[in-house]
């Protein structure tokens, strides 16, 4: 890995004045002046030809001098610090989740209100959080009035949101994973724009802008799916970005991805498919990845009996890979759980036992935010019917009630409360200290 170069110019040769102690005073002065001139030339030459400092690669070796000297969290590796987590620190965080038996909430956001609610919740439940940008969410952050024909609004909004997280995440005192959600083949230009932004950020800081990206190429053949993922992972690995890929199909509809009419057989991934992906992606040097394997999970919330989850598929896949590679690790693959909203606690925790280290949440937190706003309006309804006049007096102003920050804050609080409940279900409470 690259190292920060140090401009240490070679020391000038010291001329010993004692050698000339019998010389005249003028000769001594001339010699001293010559010495200073030579030293000055040597310093200037060394500085001119010294290599420029380059950002440190985000590697475990480099981290040993930066982050292992003092642990920020008693229950996590020393590489994991408050703020945005990338590279080796992210792998360490996910390994800790797998080993300790919990999953991180991965929450879709649409603006700074939902972003902040995520981090507020994490600070309260005492665990990490994954802030997840969708293509549509990025567009919404940039502004729905903007053209998005070339994904320019989706790219700009996602980058702007990510920069917001980088600025404030440390203040919440928790590890934050910056992730992007489903990206099908037609949407790859969106990811290309985000990767370019990460490359610029990496050149400037030594870390990528985003922690991880999901490529959902499950509509393509297995070989094409993993082939494209492998190409992207080659690029990701150079910066320490983790890849999340999908096998099979997550049913239902979410943020422009509609699989409501998909054949039910595609909702269940086979162990052989998981192993093929594991084997291919493991060939990428320095690559890190997680797998969104389908086991009947569906986006959205449905009446009981309409969703048939089969987390046993994940256990079978782990066993298959373990036997194939001869590993002592009984959970060689890190799985993620899509379509988690509305799932039973029993199914969630059984899946965690199979190596699930993150569960996506969107539908439930959308409802929670709205419900907070709705409850605020109901509570202060009579103060929200005009700028002047309320039950207290006909001429009393209502500005402090209709200030948008009041209802939005109510939405944030309700969303944070729902995420604390989700963290409890995921056994992600008090996992930092």
Report whether pLDDT(32) > 60: no
**Separation CA 91–CA 80 (nearest Å):** 9
Q: For the chain, how far is it from start to end, CA to CA, in angstroms?
A: 32
Supply 256's token pair.
């422009």
Which of 64-73, 245-254, 335-344 reaches the highest mean pLDDT? 335-344
Range of lowest pLDDT (11-25, 185-199, 399-413): 11-25
pLDDT tens digits, residue range 62-117?
A: 433 344 468 999 999 999 999 999 999 999 999 999 999 999 999 999 999 999 99
Residue 237, CA atoms < 13 Å, CB-side half-sphere: 15
Using the structure block, give the residue that is written with the tokens 């690790």.
Answer: 329
- Higher-pLDDT residue of 338 and 416 is 416
- Give, as one character, the DSSP assignment of residue 212: E
- Higher-pLDDT residue of 143 and 312 is 143
What pLDDT, on a 0 to 100 scale, did the predictor assign at position 221?
94
**Separation CA 391–CA 204 (nearest Å):** 57
Distance set, CA 332 to CA 60, 176, 269, 324 (Å): 20, 24, 17, 11
Report whether pLDDT(29) > 70: no
- Higher-pLDDT residue of 33 and 235 is 235
Closest listed residue to residue 101, CA positions, set 358, 336, 353: 353
Cα dihedral across residues 244, 210, 283, 186: positive or negative: positive
**Separation CA 322–CA 148 (nearest Å):** 45
What pLDDT, on a 0 to 100 scale, did the predictor assign at position 46?
38
Q: Which of 92, 151, 181, 347 is catalytic?
A: 181
What pLDDT, on a 0 to 100 scale, did the predictor assign at position 123?
98
Mean pLDDT in residue range 27-51: 42
What pLDDT, on a 0 to 100 scale, did the predictor assign at position 21?
39
pLDDT tens digits, residue range 283-334?
A: 999 999 999 998 876 644 444 445 567 888 999 999 999 999 999 999 999 9
Q: Which helix (H) or strand (E) holds 13?
A: none
Mean pLDDT in residue range 178-199: 97
- Higher-pLDDT residue of 194 and 305 is 194
Asked about 258 being catalytic, the answer comes back as no
């Amino acid at each position: 890995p690259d190292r920060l170069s140090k401009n240490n110019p070679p020391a000038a040769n010291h001329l010993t004045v004692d050698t000339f102690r019998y010389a005249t005073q003028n000769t001594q002065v001339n010699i001293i002046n010559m010495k200073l001139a030579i030293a000055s030339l040597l310093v200037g030459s060394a500085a001119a030809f010294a290599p420029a400092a380059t950002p440190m690669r985000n590697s475990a070796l480099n981290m040993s001098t930066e982050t292992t000297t003092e642990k920020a969290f008693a229950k996590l590796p020393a590489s994991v610090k408050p703020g945005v987590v990338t590279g080796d620190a992210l792998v360490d965080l996910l390994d800790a989740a797998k080993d300790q038996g919990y999953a991180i909430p991965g929450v879709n956001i649409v603006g700074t209100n939902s972003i902040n609610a995520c981090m507020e919740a994490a600070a309260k439940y005492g665990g990490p959080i994954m802030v997840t940008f969708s293509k549509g969410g990025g567009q919404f952050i940039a502004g729905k009035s903007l053209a998005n024909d070339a994904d320019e609004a989706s790219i700009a909004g996602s980058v702007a949101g990510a920069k917001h997280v980088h600025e404030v995440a440390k203040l919440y005192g928790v590890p934050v994973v910056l992730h992007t959600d489903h990206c099908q083949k037609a949407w790859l230009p969106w990811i290309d724009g985000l990767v370019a932004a990460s490359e610029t950020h990496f050149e400037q800081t030594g870390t990528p802008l985003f922690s991880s990206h999901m490529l959902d190429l499950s509509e393509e053949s297995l070989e094409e799916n993993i082939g494209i993922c492998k190409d992207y992972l080659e690029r990701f690995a150079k910066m320490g970005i983790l890849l999340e890929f999908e096998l099979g199909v997550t049913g239902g509809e979410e943020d422009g991805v509609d699989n409501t009419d998909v054949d039910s057989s595609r909702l269940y991934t086979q162990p052989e498919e998981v192993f093929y992906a594991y084997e291919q992606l493991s060939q990428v040097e320095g690559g890190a990845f997680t797998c969104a394997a389908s086991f009947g999970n569906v986006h959205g919330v449905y009446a009981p009996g309409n969703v048939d989850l089969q987390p046993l598929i994940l256990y079978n896949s782990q066993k298959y890979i373990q036997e194939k590679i001869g590993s002592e690790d009984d959970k060689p693959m890190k799985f993620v759980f899509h379509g988690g909203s509305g799932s039973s606690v029993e199914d969630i925790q059984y899946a965690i036992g199979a190596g699930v280290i993150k569960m996506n949440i969107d539908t439930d937190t959308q409802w929670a935010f709205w419900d907070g706003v709705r409850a605020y309006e109901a509570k202060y309804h009579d103060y929200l019917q005009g700028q002047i006049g309320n039950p207290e007096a006909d001429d009393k102003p209502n500005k402090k009630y209709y200030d948008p920050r009041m209802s939005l804050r109510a939405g944030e609080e309700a969303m944070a409360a729902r995420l604390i409940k989700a963290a409890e279900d995921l056994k992600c409470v008090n996992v930092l200290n």
